[in-house]
Each structure stands twice: as structure tokens, then as C-alpha cells.
Chains A and B, each alone.
Chain A
Amino acid sequence: MRALFILLAFLLAAAGCQTTPEDQAAAASVEDRTKPGAGKPGAQAQPVERPKVAAVDVTSGRKDSASALKDPANILSKRSIYYELDKFDVRDEYRNLVEAHAKYLRENPKTRVLIQGNTDERGSREYNVGLGQRRSDGVKRMLILLGAREDQIESVSLGEEKPQSEGHSETAWSKNRRSDILYSGEF
């Protein structure tokens, strides 16, 4: 678990470095500071700003952690859990994903999520609403076991009604048997 948090922190940091211009500038200024004779008057101001930005990024500051939800390099931007036919348990390959969202919910206690369970197109629409609910309830239970609060999470089902792929083959169906995690503002 701790290893995961370290990994997560690393990912957050790495993501920040790669994508935001401020961090790139800050990284450059680190280089400048360690080199003797690089003390240009204009460069002095930058190291003061840099730790402030980094600190907000790692702790629970709202703006920056929320952007982590959309950052393609951050595991929190991964929102879909896929299932095998007639299966409802979260497969091992999605455990890191669910753990990352549980951690985020722990650290952002005011944040709420909607988990939408989905099925493939075969069978009764209403029974599929039930099957999708079993999937989203499973994700909800796991998030709570990992420390999220019950009142932060609503698990619902869209049944077969909102396929990710419109096809009629197993390739399409495997994309449609899924749970999606949506954060406040996204639903």
C-alpha cells in the first residue's frame, strides 16, 4: 500500500514536470542555482516560487489535485474498469486504479463520485440494469474498504444503454462491460 502511495506521489510529480510550463521553468531554475556563477539578479525570484507550487501539488490543494483527475499521465485520469463476461469483481489489473481513487477521496473528503456500471447489449434491458448495478456496487464497496466514505460515493447502473463501443462482437462487448468513475462536475 505504502509503495503505491509513493508510486502515486511519483506519478503526480512526474506528471507535473512534464506538462506544466511553470514546473519546467522551475526545474530549469534548479539547475541555475546549483551552478556557481549563475546568480543572475532575475533568477533569484524563481526558486521562491517553485517550492510553493510543488507543495500545493502534492498535498490536498483543490485546483492542482483536481487537475490530476484529468492529467493523462496520472492514474486518476483512468476511470474505466472492464469486466469479463458475467463477472463483477474488480480484476487485479484495476486494483491500483481503484486504490488511487480511494486515496484521492480520502484526501479530498468533500469530493463526490458517481460510479456507473454498464453491461453489454445481450439480454433484458432491466436485468442488465441489475447486472450493471452489481458492478458499480462492487467498486463502491472496494473504495469504502480502502478508506473512502460511503456518503462520497453513489453507485448506479446504466445497464446496456450507454455502450462505449457500438459494435456487436466480443471486441465491442468487452469495452461495454465496465464501470466508469465520474467526479463532481462530470455528472
Chain B
Amino acid sequence: MRLLFGLVFLVAASQAAAQLSIEITGAGAQRTPIAVVPFSGEAAVGSSLTAIVRADLERSGLFRGLEVPPLSPAPNENTPVSYGEWRSRLADALVLGSVGKHADGRFEVRFRVYDIVKQAPLGAIAYLFTQDNARAAAHRIADFVYEKLTGEKGVFSTQIAYVVKRGSTYELQIADADGERAQYLLRSNEPIISPVWSPEGRRIAYVSFESKKPIVYVHHLSENKRQVVASFKGSNSAPAWAPDGKTIAVVLSVEGGSQIYLLNSDGSGPRRRISNSNSIDTEPRYSTDGKVLYFTSDRGGSPQIYRMSATGGEPQRVTFKGSYNVSPRPSPDGRVLAYVTREAGKFQVALLDLSNQQVQVITDSDRDESPSFAPNGRMILLATVRGGRGVLSAVSSDGRIRQNLPYSGGDVREPAWGPFNE
């Protein structure tokens, strides 16, 4: 398969004027108060590491950053901690650290996390980073703190992809999970939809309409090149990565209708058809273990979610409540299925507990679409419309915390949360 170099895409410099910002609306009832004390020596880095760490932790909805007055002398990771004093400042958790500079110009941050309630240090670590990677270092610190305090991996170092429509221009962008450091992979005068990250996070598959019809591409992020993987006669859309990263499920109309096929992700080899119906079968998504494909089908008269073996076979219906259930997204742990349901003309995100079939609608707007789980399963990123504009929104998987990610430069849609960094 032929590789296309530098046609309409370039990794552009970060555009500070137009980027995602984050407003937290509903917050969890019980947020752990945490004091992230400014690290001694961090002023030399230029950007405040601890301010980024604090913002990350607050964005999770699980923490509330405490204001800490300047302390003298400034404490660091080796300063003895007076648990009683921090308790009286109402902190349940504490982070102390310092930043030093090496002869080669790199910075080293060392920090320690404390549980004030249990009066115990939880762990310490050091990271080396160059000045232009200060934000990435701060996200790594936040991930460490989050994991020590919750027992789950943090997602602050992950990236998100989404599409921005500005006038008649479309951009596929990637950014840090906090919306910063955005750059575009593809700019086009025709629509771009359905970006999905490969399991290892180095490739993104998407659908571009630049040839007046939908064609599936795979974009290699580090080499900044892309490849056509599905350009059959008719429509080519709805890519989904198998967990092995070698197979992509796509929807093709080459034999009429819209049916699910498997392709090698490098575009080699023949296509293998795995759905056989006279209906629309689309939006395939693999379960984390790769054994099951969830998909949307209107074989029963209305669009509903079905599941079948990832190698094909007889599908079983998964959703029963309502007349419009689409866009299945299995959670990373495989226990829950997020999808979009229509009720009374409103499109909202619902969660189906696959063990007991309980359904919970977790959003309350009316044009929600394209849900995407964070790799730790804690949050779901989705596209919605506010004030007539497309915006991204993140909702906790219990529905209690919702954040809006307004974007100053256009309509944002089609979010896709990337995997954990290796």
C-alpha cells in the first residue's frame, strides 16, 4: 500500500489563540482536600509545575486543591512533615517537592506524597525533563499522585484527538488531556470524522471526505505520514482497532449496504466480511480482550446495539430499551457499555451494566454524541452542542461530575481519548 507524504497534513505549531479550556460544573460531593505546596526551586522552570498538577487533580473531580500561603523556609520532599499542622490546615493529602537544574540544562523534580489522615508517606519519585517538556513532567507528577491516592492509574499524561470545524475548514487535532499543546494532523476543506487511536497510541485511524466520499486513513503520528487503508468502491467508514493493533474493523458498502469487514491495519491483504445482513451494520468496537465486536444495526427495524464474536457469527441483541441506541463503546474493564440513546428527541449518553443489564442515562443535554472512555474508565469524553456550537464535554462514569471544554476557535466534535502512555 502506498504511503502519502505531506499532502494536506503537517504537524503545526501549537496555536495558543485557539485551544480547549476546561470549566468544571457539577463536582463530586466528597472531594479529597489536597495541598500541593509549590516546589522549592520550581520558579526556574518557567511554568508552575504545581499549578498544573493541582489543576489536573481538580479536573478528575476527586480532589480539591487547597490554597497554601507561602511557607518559610519553603519545604521540600525531605522536610519533616508535621501531620497535625497539615490536618489543621484541613488537608487530607499533601505533596512536597523540589526542582533542581543539571549541568546539561535538564531539570530534575523530586517529590513525595503523604496521607495526612493516616499520617504516612505514600511514595516518592524523581523525573528528569527539559524545559519544553515541563507540562508533560507536571502531568506525570499528577498521574503519580493520583495513583498513590486512589489506587488507579491517572490519565493526565494521555492525549485526546478531536475534529475542529472552523468555517468550511476541518482539522483533526491532538492535544494533551487538559486541552493544552494542541496541534493538527490533518487540515481539509472536506469533513473528517471518526478518529480512533491505535492500542499503542502511535497511530490514528479516521475517515476523510476529501475525495468526495468517505475513505479510511491511518495516520502515523511520529513519522507524520498517512496511509489509505480502505478506499473501496462506495463508502469506507467507522474504523475500529483490534487490541493487537494489526487488524482494523471497517464498514464498507462495496457489496451494497453497509457491512462490517476486517482489514490489516497496514492495508495489506484481502478484506474479510464478518457481518451478513440486509440492514445497516456499523460502528464496530472491540471489547478490550478483543474477542467481541459490539456494533449498531437496524436489522430489527430500529437502530440497536448488538454483539458478535470478533471473527463473525450470529449476533445477539444487547440494547432493548428505546427505539434508537447507537455508538457502542465498551469500557476498558469490559463491565459497562456506553452508548448514545434517543429519548423524546434527546440524544444522551447511557451506560449499560453488562452484568445486570441496568441502564443509567448519565448526561442531561439533548445532542450528545461520540462517547469515548478515558483509558482508566473513570471519565467519558463526548461531543455536545452548547449555545449552538459544538463543544467537548467530559462526564465521570458515575454521571456526577461534568466538565465542559469550550474551544475558542470553532465547532469541536468527534472526541477520542487516547491510551495510556507506555
Interface residues of A (CB under 8 A from B): 114, 116, 122-127, 129-134, 137, 154-159, 161-162, 182, 187
Contact = CB atoms under 8 A, between A and B. Distances in A.
Contact of A123 (B193, B253, B342): B342
B324 interface: yes
B347 A161 contact: no
Contacts of A156: 212-214, 234-235, 253
A58 B176 CA distance: 63
Main secondary structure of the interface of A (DSSP, over half): mixed
Given A114-B212, A158-B209, A162-B191, A125 B414 contact: yes
Contact of B237 (A114, A126, A134): A126
A116 B238 CA distance: 17
B267 interface: no
Contacts of A133: 234-235, 253, 257-258, 280
A155 B296 CA distance: 21
A134 B296 CA distance: 15
A157 B324 CA distance: 20
B384 interface: no
10 A-B pairs with least C-beta separation: A130-B280, A161-B191, A156-B213, A130-B258, A124-B326, A187-B212, A126-B238, A157-B235, A130-B282, A156-B235
Given A129-B258, A134-B257, 16 more contacts: A114-B212, A114-B213, A123-B303, A123-B324, A124-B296, A124-B340, A125-B369, A126-B326, A126-B327, A127-B283, A127-B326, A127-B327, A130-B282, A154-B213, A161-B191, A187-B212
A120 B234 CA distance: 20
Contact of B327 (A124, A131, A155): A124
B251 interface: yes
Interface in B226-278: 233-235, 237-238, 251, 253, 256-258
B198 interface: no
B251 A130 contact: yes
Contact of A125 (B193, B235, B281): B193
B233 A154 contact: yes
A126 B282 contact: yes
A137 B251 contact: no
B326 A129 contact: no
Contact of B326 (A123, A155, A187): A123
30 contacts: A114-B212, A122-B347, A123-B342, A124-B303, A124-B326, A124-B340, A125-B193, A125-B370, A126-B283, A126-B296, A126-B327, A127-B280, A127-B326, A129-B237, A129-B251, A129-B282, A130-B258, A130-B298, A131-B280, A133-B235, A134-B257, A156-B213, A156-B214, A156-B234, A156-B235, A157-B213, A161-B191, A162-B191, A182-B212, A187-B212
A157 B283 CA distance: 15
A124 B369 contact: yes
B366 to A, nearest CB: 10
A171 to B, nearest CB: 17
Contacts of A137: 253, 256-257
A122 B233 CA distance: 26
Given A156-B214, A156-B234, A125 B194 contact: yes
Nearest to B215: A156
Contacts of B280: 127, 130-131, 133-134
Contacts of A161: 191, 193, 209
Contacts of A116: 212-213
A132 B257 CA distance: 10
Contacts of B235: 129, 132-133, 156-157
A126 B194 contact: yes
A155 B324 contact: no
B234 A158 contact: no
A19 B235 CA distance: 38
B342 A158 contact: no
B234 A126 contact: no
Contacts of B414: 125
Contacts of B233: 154
B193 A157 contact: no
Interface string B295-322: 0101000010000000000000000000
Given A124-B340, A125-B193, A161-B191, A155 B253 contact: yes
Contacts of A158: 191, 209, 213-214
A149 to B, nearest CB: 14
Candidate in A129, A133, A155 with the most chain B CB atoms within 10 angstroms: A129
B305 to A, nearest CB: 11
Contacts of A125: 193-194, 369-370, 414
A155 B280 CA distance: 15
A137 B253 CA distance: 9
Given A116-B213, A124-B296, A137-B253, A129 B238 contact: yes
A132 B234 CA distance: 11
Contacts of B194: 125-126
